[in-house]
Structure 1
Amino acid sequence: MTAERTIRVSLQGHAYDITVRPGLHADAGAKLRALSKAAKAVVITDSNIPAATVSAMVTSLAAAGFAATVATVPAGEEHKSVEHVLKLYDQILPLRIDRHTPIVALGGGVIGDMTGFVAATILRGVPFVQCPTTLLSMVDASVGGKTGVNHTVGKNLIGAFHQPIAVLVDPNVLKTLPQRELRGGLAECIKHDLIRDAEGFANLEKDIGRALAVDIKYLTELVAHNVAIKARVVEADPFERGERAHLNFGHTFGHAIESISKYSYSHGESVALGMVAATRLGVLLDLLSEADERRIRNVITAAGLPIDGLKLDRNQVVDSMAFDKKVAGGKIRFVLLDGIGKAVVRDDVPVALVREAVESLV
Structure 2
Amino acid sequence: MTTVIPVRTERPYDVVVGRDILLPQIAEAVAGAAQVLVVHQPAMARQADALKAELGDHVLLAEVPDAEAAKRIEVAQFLWQIMGQADFTRTDMVVGLGGGAVTDLAGFVAATWLRGVGVVLAPSSVLGMVDAAVGGKTGINTEQGKNLVGAFHHPARVVCDLALLDTLPRNELLTGFAEIVKAGFIADPAILTLLEEHLDVATDPTTPEFAEIIARSIQVKADVVAEDFTEQGLREILNYGHTLGHAIEHTERYRWRHGAAVAIGLMFAAELGRLAGRLPESVVDRHRAILESLELPTTYPIGRWQTLLATMRRDKKARGAMLRFIVLDDVARPRVLEGPDDSMLFTAYQSLAD
How would you bin the TM-score normalised by the shorter chain?
Answer: over 0.9
- Aligned residue number for residue 7 of structure 2: 9
Q: Offset at 1:26?
A: 2.7
Query: Runs of 5+ in structure 1 lacking a partner?
Result: none
Task: Indicate the SS of the match to 2:139.
Answer: strand
Give the whole-Å Cα distance in 1 for the aligned partners of 2:222 and 2:289.
27
Comparing 166-175 and 284-293, the one that deviates more: 284-293
Change (3 A) 1:90 1:7: same
String of CA shifts for 1:249-284, please: whole Å, max 9, x gaps. Answer: 000010111101112221000000000011011111
Q: Offset at 1:211?
A: 3.8
- Aligned residue number for residue 48 of structure 1: 43
Q: Offset at 1:59?
A: 2.8
Query: Runs of 5+ in structure 2 lacking a partner?
Result: none
Task: Indicate the SS of the match to 1:346.
Answer: strand
- Aligned residue number for residue 293 of structure 2: 302
- Aligned residue number for residue 224 of structure 2: 233
Aligned equivalent of 1:135, options 102, 107, 126: 126
- Aligned residue number for residue 233 of structure 2: 242
Q: Does 1:159 align with 2:174?
A: no
String of CA shifts for 1:1-50, please: whole Å, max 9, x gaps. Answer: xx1100111112x01111111001031344225xx42222110012232x
Give the whole-Å Cα distance in 1 for the aligned partners of 2:204 and 2:217.
18
Residue type of the alignment partner of 2:41 = D
Give the whole-Å Cα distance in 2 for the aligned partners of 1:103 and 1:241.
28
Residue type of the alignment partner of 1:126 = V
Q: Offset at 1:53?
A: 1.9
1:1-362 correspondence runs (5 A): 3-12=1-10, 14-33=11-30, 36-49=31-44, 51-62=45-56, 67-310=58-301, 313-362=304-353
Residue type of the alignment partner of 2:16 = T
Q: Offset at 1:88?
A: 1.1
Give the whole-Å Cα distance in 2 for the aligned partners of 1:311 and 1:303.
23
TM-score normalised by length of structure 2: 0.96
Residue type of the alignment partner of 1:308 = T
| 8 Å CA contact retained: 1:187, 1:269 | yes
Superposed CA RMSD in Å reads 1.5
Give the whole-Å Cα distance in 2 for the aligned partners of 1:268 and 1:199.
20
Change (3 A) 1:27 1:216: farther
Change (3 A) 1:213 1:227: closer
Give the whole-Å Cα distance in 2 for the aligned partners of 1:330 and 1:271.
23
| 8 Å CA contact retained: 1:22, 1:220 | no
Give the whole-Å Cα distance in 2 for the aligned partners of 1:82 and 1:30.
29
Give the whole-Å Cα distance in 2 for the aligned partners of 1:151 and 1:97.
26
| 8 Å CA contact retained: 2:67, 2:99 | no
Give the whole-Å Cα distance in 2 for the aligned partners of 1:287 and 1:27.
48
Residue type of the alignment partner of 1:32 = A
Q: Offset at 1:312?
A: 5.7
Q: Offset at 1:311?
A: 6.9
| 8 Å CA contact retained: 2:264, 2:298 | yes
Give the whole-Å Cα distance in 2 for the aligned partners of 1:109 and 1:76.
8
Query: After TM superposition, what 4+ stretches of structure 1 lie above 4 angstroms from structure 2?
Result: none
| 8 Å CA contact retained: 1:71, 1:92 | no
Residue type of the alignment partner of 2:39 = I
Q: Offset at 1:179?
A: 2.1
Q: What count of residue pairs does the alignment treat as equivalent? A: 353
Give the whole-Å Cα distance in 2 for the aligned partners of 1:237 and 1:357.
30
Give the whole-Å Cα distance in 2 for the aligned partners of 1:349 and 1:192.
24
Task: Indicate the SS of the match to 2:165.
Answer: helix
Comparing 80-89 and 69-78, the one that deviates more: 69-78
TM-score normalised by length of structure 1: 0.94
| 8 Å CA contact retained: 2:105, 2:138 | yes
Change (3 A) 1:184 1:328: same
Q: Offset at 1:194?
A: 0.4
Give the whole-Å Cα distance in 2 for the aligned partners of 1:331 and 1:15.
34
